[in-house]
Each structure stands twice: as structure tokens, then as C-alpha cells.
Amino acid sequence: MIKLFAKLLRVLNSETDPGQISLGLCFSMIAGLTPLLSLHNLVVLLLVCILRVNFAAFLLGLGVFTGIAYVLDPLFHLLGLAVLTIPALEGLWTFLYQSVWWRLEYFNNSIVMGSLVFSVGLFIPILLLSNLLIRRYRQHVLAWVQKTKIMQMFKASKLYATYQTLSAWRDA
Amino acid sequence: MGKWIRWWGLGAFVVVVAIVGGVWIFFVDGWVKSLIEEAGTEAVGGKVELDAADLSLFPAGLTLTRLQVTDPKEPMTNAVEIAQVAMGLDGLNLLRRKFIIEEMVVEGVRLSTPRSTSGATRKVPAQEKELGMFSIDLPSLEVPDVKKILEQEDLETIRLIETLKADIKGEKETWESRLKDLPGKSQLAKYKERVKNLKNVKKGGLEGVLGGVGEVQSLKQDIEQEIESLKGAKKELEDKVTLLRTRLDQIKTAPQRDIQHLKAKYNLSPQGLANMSQTLLGGEIGSWVRQGAEWYERVKPFLEGVQAPGGREEGPEVQQPLRGKGVDVHFKEAHRLPDFLIRNTKVSVNLKLGDLAGTVYNITTDQPTLGKPTTFKFSGDQLKGVKSVSLEGALNHVVPAESKDEMTVQAKGYELTNLVLSKDAKWPVALTSGLGDMKLNAELKGQALTAHGGAQLSGLHLSAGQEGDANPLTKALSSAVRDIAQLAFQADVKGTLEHHDVTVSSDLDRILQSAAGKMVNELAAKFGAELQSAISAKIAEPMKQLKANMAGFDGIAGDLTERVTQHNEVLKSLLEKSLPTKDLKLPGGLKLPF
């Protein structure tokens, strides 16, 4: 847990582009909220690999969103079922249902569809919001935190030592 | 662009996918094996084990090695053991989550093989043990002691006599009491007195005559009322007596009924021989039907219970899967296929008597979607102990509400050896050797089961009875059975899988009837005559008493008749002799009303 928190701090405090961190978090939201062994997550993994996305943010987000998914499953089920049974979309779903790849995607499952719609729908808003928050954090909070007594104490703690170790590993 | 793309990431992706794919390929065989074992065990109710499963991707196929299916009732025995199952999978449909197999080869099927370890998954319920010996209801050849029988038995004749006797006594008491209330001698004397008084009054002139007329009218009505009352009572008595006489007549036929009842009770009726085939084979055939029904019940859920929802004409269909997994919404498919289908299965079965080969078409869990029934055909020639055997049939659940399953089994030149037909201690029967041609047609339409089987047995050698048997009946039966060289059997099963009736008929019934029927009939006649004589003697005295009691009603009837006569005489004397009305002239030409 300490290492995880240290990772988060390190990512936030690093010189990494806030967009890369935000993108990592948003991709992790899709992979974490939807069933992991879905075909679309292979595409997500491909994008995470070839785009300059922050891996640490992705892995951190994956763990957090997977946990959240268990709580939100009933909501995903209701949302997915509603989407799949919209009469206007029946033609589209029937068309996709004939395709082997879409069947492999398991789009006709209420939780797969619900979680995918939910996470894709929140992708852009979360991307923009997290981007903004990271920038604000670095501008205001980080500078203030560095000066606080608590931070001074923290720097003298074991947690900070771990943080330093991780930094050393990265630099090595 | 370069800021956002890292091309080495593509390589990393390929490596990750390759590692995941490699792990999957490495573990998939074990996963398939455990999947088959778990699903099979759940379905059968006994352990299903597999030595190995080999899934190949190019071309898609699956090979299973040594599949063992435990007999749930006998955990140390495999109901089926299959050496190898090889199948080619439709890869494209597999990606659509449909298990479609164009051809499957099942080799080395063996039945009832021993297991090294128990295959029980749950507690096996205690089976009803077959009784080692059972008793055939053969007619008795010992004439029972008639005297003892009459002492012990509750005869209908005696019961009827006792009841009638009590009723006659009751009726007599009732009538004797009633006679006292009916008009008798004292009443008659009073009427005579009143008539006498009237004769004196008429001498008193016209006024006296007119007063007398009213008195005569009143007296006449009183006497006539008494006569009607007596006549009614007499009629009632006659009806009662007629009823009692009818019951007395019925008692005369009661001994015959007692004799028939006692003959049947003491097994002196040839009816026991009338359906010996049913006795010898009915239970065995019923047991086969029950075994067949048990296996059918295990297969039935797969025939009609696991229909794949396939997007019907009226719109998407929602299927409820396991909790926490969401629901699958199914849409109409352009080319509908069941989720599971084996189009063609070639099977080779290794039985003790030789090898059987067969084909099963369209094994599926969803016949309505496929639109075709599951059909099967097996045959074998020149087997050990049977010239040829064939089995074919169809399991049609295309329209589940109109399901129809049918099967025909045929065996020619089946060698019958050491087949125990009767385990009866007094009269054991065994088929030592013989040849049989058999055919069975069975049909299950909805819940209605009908099956008809026929067998022609020839070259028979039968053993029957015990050495030194002194019983003339079993001796005669044994002799008749030993002489049988050929027989024809017919068996019918009707009802449902749970409740069915088995009827068996054969030449055996006729043969046994002709061999021992006459003997049993003669004994029955002798027993009947003895019973008749004994019962007649036993009821002679009670019958005599009954008749005497009945005669008592004649006295009551005579008494009533006499009273009616006497009252009539009084009335007559009143009207004709006592009043001189003929010569009486009334003023104005008036006439008396009598």
C-alpha cells in the first residue's frame, strides 16, 4: 500500500506530461471497469503499449477501477440491458450479432455492454478533468505541500525513503 | 506525432500477447479436461473421468482419451468406458460460442467395466435387493379337510340364515303386538250390541225411524273403517312375508357362492395356470423397462431442457445466466444453429458378444433450432451367441410439446443359455439352451409409453421341477415344460415411464393349461361336491327352523282374514236383516240413503 501511494506521488510529482498520466488513467478505467478478458481490452492494451501512456498510472488505475467495478456491476447490468433492448438499436445489434468478432467481444452481455458504454462515455470527461487536476496540483498543492511541516516530516520518514529508492531504480 | 507514439511498444504488445497465448495453449488441455469432468459428473451423478484431452487449433479439433463414466448406482463400475473420442471442431462457430462438430468418432465403447476406485459423488441409496426365491401361485393338488374348513370359515350361507332368522323373529313379535291393537273380538261384540239396540229404536214410529237412520249410517261407517284397517294390515303382512320368502330363496343359492369362494381360496382353480408367462417373465421385463426409463430420464434434460435462445421473430430474447454475470441478450441469427451440435457420430461398441458399429446423427441440446431429431442406428453381425443384432430409433423433440421417441431392437439367432425362468422352490424352471429371434418396438409419445415385443424361441431345452417330486401337478407341469421345443412370446408395456403395466402372453399358458388343467378341474369338482354335501348338512336344520318360523306368519294372516270376515258378517246383518227399510214409506216419496 505504501509502495502504491509512493508510486502515485512519484507519478504526480514527476516531470511526466499530465496528458500521458490522464490517458493512462482513462485506459485503465476501460480495462478495469469492463470484464478484463474481453476482446476490446486487447485493443486497449495495444493502445497503452504504442501510445506514450504512463504505464504506472495505467497499472495503478487498473487496480483501483477493477475494485470499483465490483460495486458498480448492478449499475452496469441495468445500463447494458437498457442499451441492448432499445428498439431503435435492435437492427444494429442484430447486424453485429452476425459477426464472429463482435460475438467474441460478447457485446450482447449486459455487464460487458453497460461497463463499456459507461467507461467510454466517461473517457473524454475524465481525461480532461484529470488533466486539469494534475496541472492544478502541480501548480498549487505540490509547491505548498513541499513547504509544510508534515511534508518535512514525511521526507524524513520510511515512506519517503522508499520513494527515493524507487527514484534511484528508475534513474539507474 | 513522435511525442505520442512509441514503436517499441508494438513489440512489447506482441510479446505480451504471445506470452498470454503460450500460457493458454499450455494450460488449455487441462482446462478442457477438468471442464468435461466437472460438467459430466454433474450431469451423470457419478464421477466422469478423462485420462487426457488434446485440443488442437489448426485444424480445430479435440481428442479425448479414456473417458470413464461411473454408474451412479454402482460406484465401482463404469456404466460406459470409451477408449478414444476424436472430433473436428468448426473453429469459426467456436468463436461465436457454438460447439459445432461435423463428425465425431467414438472408438472402443465398453459397458459395465470395473473401476479401480469408487466413482461415487454422493451417497448411493440402498437398492431393493432381488428376492432370491419367489413363490409361484400354482394350483394346489391336496383336497383340504372340508370339516375343518367349515369350522374355520365364515360362510355366507350361515350368515344369511342367521340374519333371516333374527328378522323373522322380529317381524313375528311386531305382528303379534300389532294384532292386539287391531279390531278383534271385543270390538266385534260391541258392534253386535249396537246393531241389537238399533232394532229396538226402529219400533218408535217415524221419529224413531229417522233417528235410527242416522245411527245406522254412523255404525256402517265405523264397521267399514275397521274392515279397511284389517285389510290394510293383512296386505302389509303379505308383502313382508313375500320379502322374507325371497330372502329364503336366495339362501338356497348361497352355498354355491361359498363353494366357488373356497375353491379359489384353497387354490383349487385352474386359473393360476392361465397366465404363467406373466408370472415367469412379467417381473423381469418390468425391471428392464425401469432401467431403460432411468437412463432416459438422465438424457431427457439434454434433449429438451437446454434450448439455446436464438433471437426469435418477435424480438431479442433475454436469457438469465448465473448471478453476477449479467444477462445475455440474444438476437435473431441469419443462419441459426444450436449452441451444441454433433452432426455425425460414428461409434464402435465392444461388447462381450462382439463388436457393434453404429452412427448417431444430430446430437444436440436444441432440436427446435436445428429442426431435426436425433437418430441412431447400430448393428452387428456374426457375433458371439447372436447371429445379428440391430438397434435403431429417433429422439424427436423438434416440437417439445409433441415429443416422440421411438426405438426398434431386433436380434436374430440369439443363443439362450442357462436362463432361470422360475426360482420357485417347489417348481424351479430353467431354460438350458435354445435359439431366439426377437423384435421390440418402443414408443414414448409425450408421457405415453407403449412397447410391443415378440420372440420366437426354437430348439429349446428346458429343465423343470425337482428330482423325486411327488406332487402330481408339478410333475405334470414339469413333464409338459420339458417337452417344449419351441415357444412364442408376446410382451406389451403400456402406461408412463413411472407407472406402466407389463402384460406377457405365450404358448406356455396353453401348454400348461392342457397339461394340468384337467387334473385341477377334477380335483376342484371333487372338492366342490364335498363342500356342497357338507354345507347342505350344516344348513339343513337351520333351514328347517326357518321354514317353520315362516309358517308362523300363516297363523297371523289367518287371524286377520277371520276378523275381516266377522266384521263383514256384522255389516251384512246390519244392512240386510236388522232394518226393515224396504217397506218404509217416507213422506213426499223420500228414500233412505242406504
Question: What is the distance in angstroms between the Cα of A8 and the nearest Cα belonging to chain B?
Answer: 22
Portion of chain B with pLDDT greater than 90, in percent = 15
Residue B97, sorted as left (phi over 0), alpha (psi -120 to 50) or beta, turns out to be: left
Residue from A54, A108, A117 whose CB has the most chain B CBs within 10 Å, to mutate: A108
What CA dihedral angle connects B557, B558, B563 and B569, to 10 degrees?
Answer: 130
Of B12, B311, B329, the CB nearest to A85: B329
Contact between A42 and B17 using a beta-carbon 8 Å cutoff:
yes
Residue B393 scores a pLDDT above 90: yes
Angle, alpha carbons B499-B505-B510 (nearest 5°): 150
Q: Which residues pair with B308 in a beta bridge?
A: none
Residue A77 scores a pLDDT above 90: yes
Residue B418 grid cell: 442357462
Residue B371, sorted as left (phi over 0), alpha (psi -120 to 50) or beta, turns out to be: left
**Domains of chain B, residue spans:** 8-114, 149-270+551-581
Most trustworthy range by pLDDT among A62-76, A114-128, B322-336, B540-554 = A114-128
DSSP conformation class of A139: I
Of B13, B329, B334, the CB nearest to A98: B334
Q: Where are the alpha helices (DSSP H) in B153-204?
A: 156-181, 185-201
Contact between B327 and A110 using a beta-carbon 8 Å cutoff:
yes
Contact between B315 and A51 using a beta-carbon 8 Å cutoff:
no
Give the pLDDT of residue B1: 53
Residue B199 scores a pLDDT above 80: no
Q: Between A39-50 and A18-33, two packed helices, what is the crossing angle to 10 degrees?
A: 170
Query: Which chain A residues have a beta carbon less than 8 Å from that of B95?
Result: 100-101, 103-104
Q: Which residues contact B451 (CB under 8 A, 6 or more apart)?
A: B289, B440, B441, B442, B443, B491, B492, B493, B494
Residue B327 grid cell: 444477462
Residue B92: closest C-alpha in chain A: A100
Look-up of cell digits 444494429: A92
Q: Which residues contact A88 (CB under 8 A, 6 or more apart)?
A: none
The whole-angstrom separation of Cα B330 and Cα B334 is 12
> Buried b / exposed e across B307-344, counting CB within 10 Å, b at 16+?
bbbbbeeeebeeeeeeeeebbbbbbbbeeebbbbbbbe
Biggest alpha carbon distance in chain A?
Answer: 63
Give the pLDDT of residue B86: 93
Asked which of A45-49, A164-168, B412-416, B450-454 is least confident by mean pLDDT, the reply is A164-168
The whole-angstrom separation of Cα B53 and Cα B36 is 9
Find the mean pLDDT for residues A47-72. Answer: 89
- pLDDT tens string A92-133: 999 999 888 898 898 999 999 999 999 999 999 999 999 999
Q: Which residues contact B364 (CB under 8 A, 6 or more apart)?
A: B338, B340, B341, B342, B370, B374
* Mean pLDDT for all residues in chain B: 80
Look-up of cell digits 505504501: A2
CB-based contact, B125 to chain A, within 8 Å:
no
Q: Is the preceding omega at residue B59 within 30 degrees of 0, hence cis?
A: yes
- pLDDT tens string B561-573: 888 888 888 888 7
Residue B118, sorted as left (phi over 0), alpha (psi -120 to 50) or beta, turns out to be: beta
Give the pLDDT of residue B548: 85
Give the pLDDT of residue B323: 47
Closest CA to B502 of B512, B493, B490: B493
Query: Which chain A residues have a beta carbon less than 8 Å from that of B326?
Result: 73, 76-77, 80-81, 109-112, 114
Contact between B6 and A109 using a beta-carbon 8 Å cutoff:
no
What is the SS3 assignment for A7-52?
HHHHHHHCCCCHHHHHHHHHHHHHHHHCCCCCHHHHHHHHHHHHEC
**Domains of chain A, residue spans:** 18-142
The whole-angstrom separation of Cα A72 and Cα B158 is 89
Q: Report the DSSP pairing between strands B429-445 and B354-364.
A: unpaired
Give this prediction's pTM: 0.59
The whole-angstrom separation of Cα B337 and Cα A100 is 14
Residue from B98, B329, B336 whose CB has the most chain A CBs within 10 Å, to mutate: B329
Give the pLDDT of residue B311: 46
Instruction: Give yes or no for a contact between B31 and B37, defined as CB atoms under 8 angstroms apart.
Output: no
Helix, coil or strand: residue B389: strand
CB-based contact, B58 to chain A, within 8 Å:
no
- pLDDT tens string A61-75: 999 999 899 889 889
The answer to ipTM > 0.85 is no
User: Rg (Cα) of chain A, in Å, rounded?
Assistant: 20
CB-based contact, B26 to chain A, within 8 Å:
no
DSSP conformation class of B251: H
Q: Which residues pair with B462 in a beta bridge?
A: B431
Binding-face residues of B in 278-337 toward A, CB within 8 A: 311, 315-316, 318, 324-334
Closest CA to B295 of B45, B65, B37, B118: B45
Instruction: Give yes or no for a contact between B333 and B97, defined as CB atoms under 8 angstroms apart.
Output: no
The whole-angstrom separation of Cα B444 and Cα B498 is 12
Q: Report the DSSP pairing between strands B99-114 and B340-351.
A: parallel
Of B5, B331, B332, the CB nearest to A52: B5
Taking CB atoms and an 8 Å cut-off, how many pairs form between chains A and B? 85
Find the mean pLDDT for residues B132-158. Answer: 68
The CA–CA distances, whole Å, from A54 to A6, A19, A57, B269 equal: 15, 9, 5, 101
Of A52, A76, A111, the CB nearest to B4: A52
pLDDT grade, residue B322 (50/70/90)?
A: very low
- pLDDT tens string B40-78: 888 788 899 999 999 888 888 889 999 999 988 888 998
The whole-angstrom separation of Cα B75 and Cα B117 is 8
Instruction: Give yes or no for a contact between B457 and B435, defined as CB atoms under 8 angstroms apart.
Output: yes
The whole-angstrom separation of Cα A154 and Cα A147 is 11
